[in-house]
Structure 1
Amino acid sequence: MGMKAIFSNRLYKYKIDANFVMSMDHTLRVFNQAKHFRYQAEVRELRGVKEKSSVSIHQRLKQRYGLNDYYANSAVQQGRALLSAQKELKNIYMRNKKEQINAVKRKIKATKARLTTLQKIKASFVKGTPTFNKTSREQQKGVFFVVTYKHHTRLFYRAYDFEHQHLDVEIKYLKSRLGQLNFKKDRYEKQLIKLTTKVTGVCFGSKKLARGRLTQKSYHAHPERWQKDWAAARYGKMTISGRKDAKSGNFVFHYHPEMHALTFKAIDQCVISLSDVVFPYGQDHVNCAIQTQMNLKDKKKYGKPIGWSLEDHGDYYIVKCLIDVPATPYLNTSTSTGMVGVDLNVNHIAVANVNDIGQCVDAFTLPFNLEGKTSGQVTKIIEAEVMALVDYAVKHHKPLAIERLDTTRSKVSRPYGHRKANRR
């Protein structure tokens, strides 16, 4: 069982009654304020700033913002979901931070080894008997001292020049680099402790937009533009959860499929009616879900909730219908006849067809070229190859198997240095 969001057409504000638009804007703002308060109240309690209230958060929202049970329940549920998401994100951040610490430790170890090698060479020069490590890039070739790099080679004719122009400079740089790495490791460890102990908050409206008020030139010249964007980001969306015992799956929103009309009761008790609300890419699914719910006799036992979401996009509104989609009954998970293994590569998909005892029956590749393509073109190119792959699996009646990679280390540790620096 999964959830599917079906988008409506654009509902332009100039076609809607002005009183309805005002009431919808008020509802969006008050609902989001209630959601923010619900989340922040629990964060303060978890941090120990405030004692836990004897009154439930549901009742506090109703009293503070004048909400009915359905609006308050949706705000409480969204706040709870946001808290749960933050906990999962914290685990990801902690795992990433640990990998960053390990990456810095590896760099410190390599830097120390390199520094020790150069210091030994330096000490041998001081004694007057130059000796070199067999694996180091510094070597003595006859009477010359050679430093070999990937694309070029430095040649020194005298020991004095080699010692002071290369060894001393490299040793000084490595000591400085070692200090920087130790500082970075210490900073990462403090951040890890902070992640472990602190209850993180959320910036509703995004941190990027909050910083943009002071960092973006367009907002400096037009502060009212930032205020408009900030309000749209903070108060532009509202989702009301459904109830399976409701006549149409929701006690706030009611959709009439035969008239394509959507009605709901706003927070200020205004009954808003929106006409010509159609769903171009799923009208049949919406109609079927609502008709099925309305025709049920025992809704508490067999009913399914239908959620509704309202989004303000400036000149128009978008409505989303959230319905439950049953799992496909044609999902093949049996490996009695074998399976089709898939490996994704930079320019092709490698496919291997094996039988029930693991013997390779067929193997081939699905090539593609993504160089110079836009993100939309890349999506369509890969989509075409995946469709061919699925058709192959359906034809042979075998499930698909793909490797599950943990990309934490490759994304976080930066094994090849800074991404922007590598572009040069």
Structure 2
Amino acid sequence: MQYIKPYNHYKALIAGIDTKVPLLNGSYTTAINFDNAATTPPFLAVLEELMDFSPWYASVHRGAGYKSQFSSKLYEEARESIANFVGADSSEHTVVFVKNTTEAINKLSNRLLEIYKDGVVLSTCMEHHSNDLPWRNKYKVDYIELDKDGRLSLEDLKKKLQHYDGKVKLVAVTGASNVTGYINPIHEIAEMAHGHGAEILVDGAQLVPHTPVDMKSLKDPGHIDYLVFSGHKMYAPFGSGVLIGPKKTFQQGSPDCVGGGTVELVTHDYIKWQPPPSKEEAGTPNIMGVLAIVTSLKMLKSLGMEAIDAYEKSLTQYTLESLKNVPHIQLYGNPHDIKDRVSIIPFNIEGLPHDIIANALSQEGGIAVRNGCFCAQPYVQRLLNVSNQEMQQRIANPTLPHPGLVRVSFGLYNTYDEIDQFISLLCKISVNRKYYLEKYNDG
């Protein structure tokens, strides 16, 4: 891969890019954020848009005053902007605003109960807890297996769809793993699911901010039925997320969260619900959060998702090549193939706990990474070859250390120079493992 020019003009678009953070030795350094898979900093354009809008802020759908009408108009127009960004058809899909991806999946799991009844939901062994736990205790859940590199096994998906013989109602799959960055072939999976009478939900939290996404028309056999994602992972951290799905799903039945804004008519003996999506958005809508997402999507579109994808892949390739020079490094997944991968790299250093590595990077270099299991414990256990017996021992004795990884995840504003600083410090940590083990174990 040819690396893209080292100067990154995207940095000028980000708030807080020059923030100084304290180090253990008492000095200060410019913070480096390699924890973008958890949360991205805001675009300056998002902050500016919210400040410009603030004088016009008013309650959505609640008033006849001009400001309320203006706010309501922006709020409703946002649905079309979001649908266009991910290729949803507004004549077929509805856009429901929620707090985040987790709430979106929980809402959908509740709303589909009346439709799926005793149907089977296929999750996968690589899911974030948010696309696993909401399906438990409501449906019969089974898990699609992984191959040796931690990628989803389409062969196992095929076998399970055939095994359940039409009983599978939903395949719930991540668009891109928050642990390994692997991008799943969502349209191929969708076509397989639809061929057996099932629908597909794509957790797009790690996918939508990094690469082009197209839900396609419901008439296309590879279309995506449900897509969810969050603003806080795409430079708009103001408490808003998105659930997109067929209108018919939300037309029947009662919403899972009820109250103001969800009804047309109420007596003590009768309720007439609003049509979707209003019936799914109880309470005063988060117009600021929605406006933040729309502004972020406009910025991403203007930059070009293909260009962003290419640049972040170049950062990933550069880092993987550089990590080869770090002694005792342990990489997970397939470090040689980045074609179908977003900018996430999990690793460990042999002989050093993951928390010590993360703390040392932060306290000695101002470099923020994530360590642990990233809310995907079964997947990390699989990557680390942790047996069920070992996990049972940890359940019986909570004082035992949890298995985990260190995760580097890039945003469009990160640079090769930041990666060089990271690699330099990581080499120092790895060469002096005993020193760091003693230093950070002592607190």
TM-score normalised by L of structure 2: 0.24
TM-score normalised by L of structure 1: 0.25
Q: Which has the greater radius of gyration?
A: 1
